[in-house]
Structure 1
Amino acid sequence: MKLIMYFSLMLVSLIVTILFGRNQLKKSNNRLWRAFFKSFALTVAILGLGSVCWFFTETDGISQGLGVLYYVVAIGVISVINIISLNLSRSKDI
Structure 2
Amino acid sequence: VEVEALVIQGPMLATVLSQVKKLEASVLVLSQSKPSPFCCFLRSRGEVLAEECISRAECLTLAVRRQSKGVGGYLVSTRWQKNFWLLA
Q: TM-score of the superposition, structure 2-length normalised?
A: 0.34
Larger radius of gyration: 1
Looking at secondary structure, tell me which structure has more helix per residue.
Answer: 1
TM-score normalised over the length of structure 1: 0.32
Quick one: higher RCO (CA 8 Å, sep 6+), 1 or 2? 1
Name the structure where strand makes up a greater proportion of residues.
2
